[in-house]
């Protein structure tokens, strides 16, 4: 039985769009794209992008047109935002199907810009597009993602993509996952204080609490050793992220020996408590006014 998104003859609509009349295809996207709403129809975005790529240059030009729609043409959390998601998925499929080095792959480089888009679903679509690259290129994709860990939102995107249920099994080795996690942690640890209130910084800190437990389902010992090593950080937000990750790992049945070592490392590196005899409390507004 065909999937719901294929019932309206998606291939015919795609051919019509590539011939110059995209109105019917865009009505199809608006009707079945799942927006506005919490979960876009990524299956439709993937099928449509694949069908458009099968049309050659005409399909690629149309995908580029969709990916380039700004917020006036495809507003945030509107039905038309889905059109951009199809374009983003097209970049992911092009990267997944490329035969050259992923590190210099133009579609991969183009995807980086979308993690800074003002539209939430467009940013999230990058994670799904990167998951397509992981499914096709497996650990080679994890290695190529090292080019993404020099920016907060870029690093968050690859960490989230590597732990999506549909992609995580494509990664067979722990080393690459831990390396990307380590690079992202270092980026946060060395961040200027002025960055701590930025959206990207806070998003990546949240990923530091969420991603290790997901990786730990398969690579418990390696994740436990990484958390133990990083527990000596002096950055309060990162210490809290490690504590959250440890609690999540414990709830999902992580090895007690690994988690105990992380907690001991946190305790050993904890800053000393403030001496109440020398603490005078807040001083703001105490002076002469």
Q: What is the pLDDT of residues 51-75, one digit of tens each?
A: 999 999 999 999 999 999 999 999 9
Statement: residue 7 has pLDDT above 70: no
Statement: residue 104 has pLDDT above 80: no
Tell me the C-alpha distance between 137 and 170, whole Å: 8
Helix, strand, or coil (residue 55)? coil
Q: Token pair of 141, please?
A: 């994709």
Statement: residue 24 has pLDDT above 70: yes
Rg from Cα positions in the chain? 23
Centroid of chain to Cα 39: 15
* pLDDT for position 170: 87
Say how many Å lie between the first and final Cα of the chain, rounded: 78
Q: What are the Cα distances from residue 108, in Å, to 149, 182, 209, 217, 260? A: 13, 21, 26, 28, 40
Q: What are the Cα distances from residue 23, in Å, to 15, 54, 285? A: 12, 19, 63
Sequence-separated (6 or more) residues with CB below 8 Å from residue 186: none
Stated pTM of the model: 0.87
In the chain, what percentage of residues exceed pLDDT 90?
Answer: 80
């Amino acid at each position: 039985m065909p999937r719901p998104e294929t019932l309206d003859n998606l291939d015919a609509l795609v051919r019509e769009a590539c011939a110059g009349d995209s109105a019917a295809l865009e009505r199809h996207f608006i009707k079945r794209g799942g927006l506005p709403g919490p979960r876009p129809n990524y299956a439709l975005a993937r099928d449509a992008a694949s069908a458009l790529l099968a049309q050659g240059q005409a399909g690629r030009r149309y995908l580029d047109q969709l990916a380039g729609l700004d917020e006036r043409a495809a507003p945030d959390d509107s039905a038309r935002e889905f059109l951009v998601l199809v374009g983003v998925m097209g970049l992911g499929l092009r990267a997944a199907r490329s035969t050259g080095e992923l590190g210099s792959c133009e579609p991969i480089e183009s995807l980086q810009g979308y993690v800074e888009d003002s539209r939430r679903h467009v940013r999230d679509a990058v994670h799904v597009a990167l998951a397509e690259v992981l499914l096709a290129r497996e650990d080679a994709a994890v290695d190529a993602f090292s080019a993404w860990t020099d920016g907060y939102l870029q690093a968050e995107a690859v960490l989230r993509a590597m732990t999506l249920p549909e992609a995580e099994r494509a990664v067979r080795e722990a080393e690459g996952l831990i390396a990307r996690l380590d690079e992202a942690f270092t980026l946060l640890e060395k961040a200027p204080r002025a960055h701590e209130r930025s959206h990207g910084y806070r998003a990546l800190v949240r990923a530091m609490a969420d991603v290790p437990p997901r990786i730990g389902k398969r690579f418990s010992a390696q994740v436990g050793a990484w958390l133990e090593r990083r527990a000596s950080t002096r950055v309060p937000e990162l210490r809290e992220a490690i504590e959250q990750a440890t609690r999540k790992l414990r709830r999902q049945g992580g090895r007690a020996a690994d988690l105990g070592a992380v907690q001991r490392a946190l305790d050993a590196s904890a800053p000393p408590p403030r001496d109440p005899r020398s603490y005078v409390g807040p001083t703001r507004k105490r002076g002469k006014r």
